[in-house]
Amino acid sequence: MRLRNIRCIRTAFTAITVLLASTTPPRPASADQDPRLQRMDVDTDAQLTRSARLETILRTALERNRDLAEDGARARAAEARGRSVSRLPDLELKYEQWGVPLARPYALGRADTVMLGVRQTFPSWGSLDARGRAAAEEAAGVRDGERARRQEVAAQVHRTFAAYFKA
């Protein structure tokens, strides 16, 4: 009896661990690891050494601007929050042990009842949709802020290039 209870608990924990490990999203490759991005940087640098063209300078400024990268990351995070807010809460693992002797609280074989279960909470009717709509509006606002920053940087590059061309 005791051995069977321990096996059931061990099997449940193993299954939960496997489920949690299989839902981890893959990490995107960074510029340091991707040879295509490194090649693009070399090509851009070669174009800039030959001649100062507005298209090349603008593309380089937009790709390498840290504020734009930060705004893009914020927008992606807001979109991810929006997707996660409009779904049901995560399942919860529930463990109960009744009638355990106080001298040996981990003696599963001496407990009267050992229960292992899964619990799911359900929010009130319509609240998931409302949260999803609010998160979508927030993500749209963050994305609009990113677009505005991109236009601001592009305008600054245009002004600077015009001053360079005049001189």
Domain ranges of the chain: 67-88+123-167
Read off the pLDDT band of 114 (50, 70, 90). confident
Length, in residues, of the chain? 167
Query: Considering the entire predicted model, what is its pTM?
Result: 0.55
- Distance CA(102)–CA(100), nearest Å, equals 6
Please give the residue that has the higher pLDDT: either 9 or 76: 76
* Residue of 110 and 31 predicted with greater confidence: 110
* 160/53 Cα distance (integer angstroms): 12
Residue 15 has pLDDT above 70, yes or no: no
CB 31, CB 37: distance < 8 Å: yes
- As a whole number of angstroms, the distance between CA 69 and CA 54 comes to 21
Inform me whether the pLDDT recorded for 27 exceeds 60: no
Query: Mean pLDDT score of the chain, rounded to an integer?
Result: 79
